Structure 1
Amino acid sequence: MSSEIKNADSFERILDNLAGGFDKKDKIFANEAGAKVFVETMKPKIPYRSKLRNAHGHAEKSHLRDSLIEVKHSNGSVHVGFTSKGEKGYIGRFLNDGWDVKDKNGETHSHVAGLDFWGDTQRDAKGKVGATVAAVLKEEMDKKVRDVK
């Protein structure tokens, strides 16, 4: 029985490479994959109207579903939200949270319940997003091991 490790140098390089962990690029890559799963889970939950009108009754060119974006941050995280360019964030907030109907005098008459599509998406996508991020990170870890050999 041998008490030595064959290819010790290669083994040490693998350990050093793995000890380096994931860099920012790896984190962003994995989080982007998770964000895409979140967006694809959310899109069908956002109410769809075939004729788009803004608050003033004018026709609009883009839909709330098309305004979803993924924002990358310097720490490697990726957040999902609505673009400010299309000014859809406030509409998404109203549809998600609901609103109080007020007349021209500012008196509240009723409450329109929100659809909570954001919360539904978080519940539905939780396992899928985590599994996607884990799969991407596993693949990145496998590459680190293969690259050393």
Structure 2
Amino acid sequence: MQYNIQIKKLPGNEDIGMPKKMSEWAAGFDLHAAVTEPTVLKPGERALIPTGFSMAMPKQCEAQIRPRSGLAYKHGITCLNSPGTIDADYRGEVKVLLINHGQEPFTIERNERVAQMVIQIVPQISIQQVEELSETDRGEGGFGHTGV
């Protein structure tokens, strides 16, 4: 099944690239920075980077904003709150929350690819309060209880 995602470029961002898959089987669409001037992220700093577009998607979808592996590996640039969720009813500008975990300042240029967006299907869920839960072998064991 194919889902249609509508992209609206915001005024002043006609030069910013559309979200785009960089290979035939890529899961994510690369997102471009719509910064008005180069933005320097010093080590440990974070910034909310605009993408220059807003979007509409079917109610059964969500968009997840994730880091680009090349920026993370080469420069220590990643997304906070990753993956960030964009709900189907949000109509504001899509923005990317980046942080510099590297040792050097990193400059974000206009139209630079800064993150990727993966569209996911969100199942319809019903939450039910109960008095008891079913038993399992694991039980309440968590946080390393298996020895890993």
For the criterion TM > 0.5, the same-fold answer is no
Q: TM class by shorter-chain length?
A: under 0.3
TM-score by length of 2: 0.23
TM-score, normalization by structure 1: 0.23
Structure with higher strand content: 2
Determine which structure has the larger helix proportion and give its number. Answer: 1
